[in-house]
Structure 1
């Protein structure tokens, strides 16, 4: 596979949304936009009872933001537009009346951790380590921060955000509440996802929608909050420190 994509399939009430990018399933603006649209559509589609969000392959779940796009941001407006992509996905999951299960088959960095925090139930494998790397290249996990902090608490979020070069194990992530389940291999993970998705597809859609409202209580202001956070990241990404660090990382990935 060489071309990035987002695709969606619905079978027996279960809608699977899969994304792929050749650079570690990283997320440029176009993919973020497509993911948000697919989640919104599945949420309003009567045939969908539950959503599974996954990435392709058996390696990284998500390498976070596209460094190619980050390096090309030239104005505040471009920065806000790019980081709003993550905000839109998080808010699409938040407002979706159907439960979203996350399939986490590998490592997640930055925005990828934000996606995991946003899903309603994350099922992972043991090799699925996590890291919030934003501080290492001159910005911070501002847009995804509310989702991560909501899921694991302020103390654990601050540890992740400050130790931006350090990886946390899947067991750490489970202990803090980011992962609901951790399995020894992909086969066991997928079996657990099938079981849960099947059960949810046969449960009350009305009850699921009401429970999501309860579970996401207190986030009603996130449309505005995440927009404000996108503006912070959009401003910081233009600083000389960030520009130099991002270009260095981009060249390392190309090499």
Structure 2
């Protein structure tokens, strides 16, 4: 890929056994492959840190939580191998998150699209604001939410997943997302979000880490085949992203 793409930012800090991981990117906190790899590595690192009991995952700014895959990088894909490699980044991140022994709490301050919805679903508990609408727009650009489908379906069920996928241009409200189980708690303001997430994380951090680790295994029972499944799904997306339909759709989205 010859296109120069911003790598984005990733910051992590630990305070009283609570690790806060913050990712960011100028394009609505979207994910190029480098940022996906760095976040995956950080989750794996924190998994092995005995000083951490709980992880808070959040993004930069007060607007979008995550716009999903980097359109710039999708447009730069030139062959199936590159496409599979890019989408495998989401596969590796989701697998790292669900396999991590620490409880991961999402702090969602704004809209989430595509892969961003998958990342929220891969968290064990999610707080959001009323501005945190969600959308799976992949069909509108000629691909599909193949890699994130298992984790989104695991969280909200196949029916709600299909509803979002087929209504590819429709935003679902934070209230809808809470009713379906993606968000556990929805608050009004960003300030209330910080207060609620902090209080919950402190509560979780006070529990027996061994009990939390066992509970997490139960939460994610039945996902043991995802190491292979999500990579196979990445291969599907990697082929479709090369189509003329997808290339043209991505260019149109960039102009908006």
- Residue 202 of structure 1 is matched in structure 2 by 206
Confirm or deny that 1:230 pairs with 2:234: yes
Q: Which residue of 2 aligns with 1:187?
A: 191
Q: Distance in 2 between matches of 1:24 and 1:228?
A: 28
Query: Which residue number corresponds to residue 142 of structure 2?
Result: 138
Say whether 1:156 aligns with 2:164: no
- Which residue of structure 2 aligns with residue 99 of structure 1? 103
The 2-side partners of 1:89 and 1:16 are apart by: 17
Which region of structure 1 is more displaced relative to structure 2, 25-34 or 183-192? 183-192
How does the TM-score come out when normalised to structure 2?
Answer: 0.96
Cα displacement string for residues 17-67 of structure 1 (whole angstroms, at most 9, x for unaligned residues): 100001100110011011111111111101111000000100000011100
Q: Structure 1: which 5+ residue stretches go unaligned? A: none
Q: How many residues align?
A: 251
> What residue is the counterpart of 2:35 in the other structure?
31
TM-score by length of 1: 0.97
**1:248: Cα distance to partner?**
2.2
Asked whether the equivalents of residues 142 and 233 of structure 1 are also in contact (C-alpha less than 8 Å), the reply is: yes
What RMSD in Å do the two structures reach over aligned CA positions? 1.0
> How far apart, CA to CA, are the structure 1 residues paired with 2:69 and 2:83?
12
- Whether 1:127 aligns to 2:131 is yes
Structure 2 gaps, min length 5: 1-5
> Is the 8 Å Cα contact of residues 3 and 22 (structure 1) preserved in structure 2?
no
Secondary structure of 1:45's aligned partner: coil
Q: Are the equivalent residues in 1 in contact too, given 2:7–2:32 (CA < 8 A)?
A: no
Q: Cα offset for 1:247?
A: 2.2
**After the TM superposition, which parts of structure 1 deviate over 4 Å for at least 4 consecutive aligned residues?**
none
- CA deviation after TM superposition for structure 1 residue 7, in Å: 1.0
1:3 Cα shift? 7.3
